[in-house]
Amino acid sequence: MKILVVDDDPRLRELVSITLERAGFQVVTARDGQMALTHAAREAPALVVLDVGLPELDGLEVCRKLRVRSDVPILFLTARDDEIDRILGLELGADDYVTKPFSPRELVARIKAILKRARQPNGQSVLRHGPLEVDSAGHMVRVDGAALALTATEMSILRRLMQTPEMIVSRPQLIEAIYGVGSQVSDRTLDSHLRNLRRKLGEQGWASAIETVHGIGLRMGAWPG
């Protein structure tokens, strides 16, 4: 699989490139945001590793522009220790983030987890709940026939809830199903993905598609139509 690595630090680009090539990936690099957009359109990468702190066109703006035309998975690299920046990035449509400095092993593990969520159906290929249809094999989501663009992580959340739509799924169960056993993912990260997913479903007329059962977990809501 081809990975696009975007960072203005040549040493970090080289480190990440060597790490990913040793893990069996093909790597394309970009040193700035505009080059990242050009390479993303030309190379059709399976995933983008994107630095937040790029000069001129920063990583958040690159993510915003990519999401207009593509659902390619995006993993942010950030040197910022501000939780707001991380949540903002996820709300723009990123799938995950790694904070600098990071271990090469952690980076590879995060990338493989995202790609697994994006490419491997979990259980039944097509799930339906009310007018909502999730086609895992085709990576397609429709609400009453209208296509809905979701990130790989958003689709994994929706797919897990739709596997047992009448049952409550606890937050730890949801994180484990999406990120794997033993993953250290904060509630705020999950909340950011959920907020983005609810917003997209709300734009299709189903703001109550995902219910929160306080103190227990989440489940699919009833179609209001």
pLDDT tens-place string over residues 177-196: 777 766 667 778 888 889 99
Which of 44-48, 114-118, 120-124, 150-154 shows the lowest per-residue confidence on average (mean pLDDT)?
120-124
Lowest pLDDT segment from 34-43, 45-54, 67-76? 67-76
Provide the pLDDT for residue 83: 65
Kindly write down the DSSP assignment for every residue of the chain, as one continuous string: -EEEEE-S-HHHHHHHHHHHHHTT-EEEEESSHHHHHHHHHHH--SEEEEES--SSS-HHHHHHHHHHH----EEEEE----HHHHHHHHHTT--EEEESS--HHHHHHHHHHHHHHHHS--SSSEEEETTEEEETTTTEEEETTEE----HHHHHHHHHHHHSTTS-B-HHHHHHHHH-TT----HHHHHHHHHHHHHHHHHTT-TTSEEEETTTEEEE-----
Question: pTM, whole model, 2 decimals?
Answer: 0.69
Fold classification of 126-220 (topology level):
Arc Repressor Mutant, subunit A (1.10.10)
CATH 3.40.50.2300-classified regions of the chain: 2-119
φ/ψ of 70, rounded to 5, equals -155, 150
Q: Please tell me the predicted confidence (pLDDT) of residue 81.
A: 64
Banded pLDDT at 117 (limits 50, 70, 90): confident
Whole-number average pLDDT of the chain: 87
The per-residue pLDDT for 140 is 83
Q: What is the pLDDT of residue 21?
A: 96
Give the range with max mean pLDDT: 35-44, 174-183, 215-224: 35-44
Residue 94: Cβ-neighbour burial (10 angstroms; 0-12, 13-18, 19+): buried
pLDDT at position 70: 83
pLDDT digits (tens, 9 = 90+) for 66-112: 988 888 899 999 887 666 677 677 778 888 888 888 899 989 998 99
CATH top-level class of 2-119: alpha beta
Q: Which residues of 187-214 are buried (b: 16+ CB within 10 A; e: fewer)?
A: eebbebbbebbbebbeebebeebbeeee
In terms of DSSP bridges, do strands 146-147 and 96-99 run parallel, antiparallel, or are they unpaired?
unpaired
pLDDT given at position 183: 67
- Within the chain, which residue ranges are assigned CATH 1.10.10.10? 126-220
Higher pLDDT, 13 or 186: 13
